[in-house]
Chain A
Amino acid sequence: MKRTPISFLSSALRVFDLSIGEMLWSRRTIFMALVVAGPVLIAAITRGVASLGPVMQVNGTRIAGATIFGLMIWVFYLRFTVPVLGVFYGTSLIADEVDDKTITYLFTRPVPRGAVLFGKYLAYLVCTIFVVLPSVVLVYLLVVPIGGTLAQSFVPLLTDLGLLALGLAVYGALFAFIGAEMKRPLLTGLMFVIGWEPAAMLFPGYLRRFTVAYYLQALVPHAMPQDSATSLIQAMFRQAPPIGASLAWLFVFWLGFLYLAARAVERREYVLEQ
C-alpha cells in the first residue's frame, strides 16, 4: 500500500503540537516566568506607591505613568527579555534534541527535516508571545493610569506589542539558525546579545546595521531612556532608520534566518556523542 507523504505544513503542525507542551512545562519556563513576572511586580509596587500620593516622583522629578511604561518597555522588554528569551529558546530548538540524543527519533519520522525546525520554531513563538505580551498588558494596566489615562498610551501599547512579537520572531529565527549551525550556540548567542549588539550600537557608522536592535529600536514609540553613560552615548549617536526600512529589514532577517536554519537542519549531519 502506498502512503501519501505528509505536507510540510501539516508536518510542522504535528511537531508544533508535540513541542508546545514540552517547551511550556520545561525548567526553562521558570526562567521565562521570572523574567516576565519581574516587570509586573515592579509595576504593581509602583502603582501601590503612586496611590499613596497624588503625584509620582522619582528623585524629586514628577513622572507620569506613560513615561514609566515607556521606560519599562525599553529597559525590561526590549533590551533584556526579547533578546535573552530569543537566545535561550532559539538556540535550544535543535541543540536540546542533539544534547538529549533524541534528534534521531525525530529525523527518522517521515517528515521533512525543515518541518521539524519550523514546528519547533512555531512552538517557541507561541510560547514566548503568550507569556511576554500578557505581561506587557498587565504592566500597561497597572502603570499607565498613574497621572494619565489608558487612552493616551493605547496606540503606543499596540505598537509595543507588535514590535515585541516581531522582535521575538526575528531573534528566534536568528538563534534558531545559530543553534542549527554552530556547536556552542548558547555561548555564541549570548556573545551576540551581550557583546556585539550593545558594542555596535555605541559607535557611529554602519556597524549597527548588522544588529537586530538597530531596526527594532527604530520602531519604539517611547523616548530612549538615558539612564547610563552607554545610553547617553547611544542617544547622542542615534540614527533611527525610517520605519518602513526597519520593518523591511526585520522581515528580511526573519525570513532569511528561518530559511537558513531550515536549510542547515536539512543538510547537516548531527553526530551524537556516545
Chain B
Amino acid sequence: MTTRTRYFLFGSAGILVAGLCTGLLAYYGGFPTVASTAYGPAELSYVPADADVVAYANVREVMTSELRARLKQVMPEHGQGQNEFEQKTGLNIESDVDHVVACVAPSASDRNGGMVLVRGRFDQVRLETLARQEGGVVEEYRGRRLIRTTHGSHGDTSAMLGFMEPGLAVFGDSATVKRAIDTHVGGGKNVTSNDALMTLMREMASGSNAWAIGRFDAIAKRANLPDNVSRQIPPLHWFAASGHVNGGISGMLRAEARDEQAAENLRDVLRGFVALIKLQSSAKPELQAMLQSIELGGTGKTVAISFSIPSAVIDALPRPKHPAG
C-alpha cells in the first residue's frame, strides 16, 4: 500500500470517527444537556414531573400568521362574542396573550387533573373582581393569591384562577394549581427532569409553534373508560403532535405503540387509509398538494404521519355567501 493510499484511508477514517464521536457526544447528553437547561418555555418549571400530557401553543405567532389573515378573508368573523369577552375581562386574545402551556397530571384521587398557564398582559384587578362577582373566594397559598370557584352537582369540584407572577396567569383544578405552586416554590422536580418527555419535546418542538406530548396509556387508564371502549383503543404508549402555522399548516403526529406488532398494525391501517384518501381525491386538484404531502413513517414501535396544508388549499375554500343587501 502506498503512502498516498494510507493517508487517504486515515483521512476517511478520521472523518468517520470524528462524526460518530460528535453524534455520540450529542446522544449521551453532551450538546443537548447544555441546551436543555434553557430548553422549552420557562413555564415548564410549574409543571409537575409526573405530568401525563404537556402542550404548548404560541398564540401570538398563530394570531399574526398569514394563515389567520387568509382565514379571516375567507370566513369573516362576527366579532361580537370576542368583543363582549374583552369588555368583561379586559383581555384581547389576539394581542394580549403571548403563549400558553397546558398540562394534564394525576391528582391526589388518581384522576386526571389539569391546568393552563397563560403568559401575556392581564388586568389582574379586573379579572379578580370578575371572578369574585361570579362567586369566587379569594385564598392565599404560599404567597400567591388564588380565586377558588366551586362547581359540580354537589359543589364538590373546584377550579382556581391565580397569578403566579406578573404576566403569568394560571387556571385549572385546585389540586393541580396547588401542586404547580409547590413544584415551583418548593423546588420540587418539574417536568424538565422527565427525560423521556423532554427528549420527545426537543424532537417535536423544534421549528413548530404548537405541540403536545403525552402518555396515552396513563390517561386512558385514569379516564375509567368502559371496557368495550378501552378495548377499541390502540395500544399506544406515547403520543406527540407538533404543528407550524404560518402561510399554511404543517404538522406531524407520532405515536409509540406497546410493541412492534401493534405499531405495524397501526401503520397498516394508516397506510391503507392514506392510500384510499389519495385515490378518492385524485379528481380534486386543489387538494393534491396537501394529499401528496401526507407521509407515513416510523420504524419499530414508532408510527409517524406528517402532512402539510399549503396556503393554496385555504384560498380554495368556499367563501360564505352573504345575503344581498
B31 to A150, Cβ gap below 8 A? Answer: yes
Q: Would you call A140 and B19 a contact (CB within 8 A)?
A: yes
User: Would A61 and B15 be within 8 Å (CB), given that A147-B206, A150-B23, A154-B23 are in contact?
Assistant: no
Q: Is the CB of B19 within 8 A of A223?
A: no
Q: How far is the CB of A70 from chain B (nearest CB, A)?
A: 8
- Cα separation A73 to B18 with both chains bound (whole Å): 20
Q: In angstroms, how far is the closest chain B Cβ from the Cβ of A258?
A: 22
Max count, chain B CB within 10 A of own CB: residue among A60, A64, A236: A60
Of B2, B27, B202, B292, the most chain A CB neighbours within 10 A belong to: B27
Known: A64-B206, A147-B206. A140 touches B310 (CB 8 A): no
- Mostly, the B contact residues are helix
Interface string of B1-35 (1 = CB under 8 A from A): 11011001100110110111011101100011001
Asked if B323 is an interface residue, CB under 8 A from chain A, the answer is no
A16 CB to nearest B CB, Å: 9
A239 to B20 Cα, complex, angstroms:
32
Is B8 in contact with A24, judged by CB distance below 8 angstroms? yes
Q: How many A-B residue pairs have CB under 8 A?
A: 114
- Indicate if B293 sits at the interface (CB-CB under 8 A): yes
The interface size bin for chain B is: 35 or more
Besides A130-B9, A149-B206, A236-B271, 17 more A-B contacts (Cβ < 8 Å) are A21-B1, A21-B4, A54-B207, A55-B244, A56-B207, A130-B8, A131-B12, A134-B12, A140-B19, A147-B206, A151-B26, A151-B27, A153-B23, A223-B304, A225-B295, A226-B292, A238-B271
Binding site for B on A (CB under 8 A): 17, 20-21, 24-25, 54-56, 59-62, 64, 67, 70, 126, 130-131, 133-134, 137-138, 140-141, 147-155, 157-158, 220-226, 232, 235-236, 238
16 interchain pairs, CB-CB under 8 A = A55-B207, A62-B244, A62-B308, A126-B9, A130-B9, A133-B16, A137-B18, A148-B207, A149-B31, A149-B203, A150-B23, A152-B203, A154-B23, A154-B26, A223-B298, A225-B295
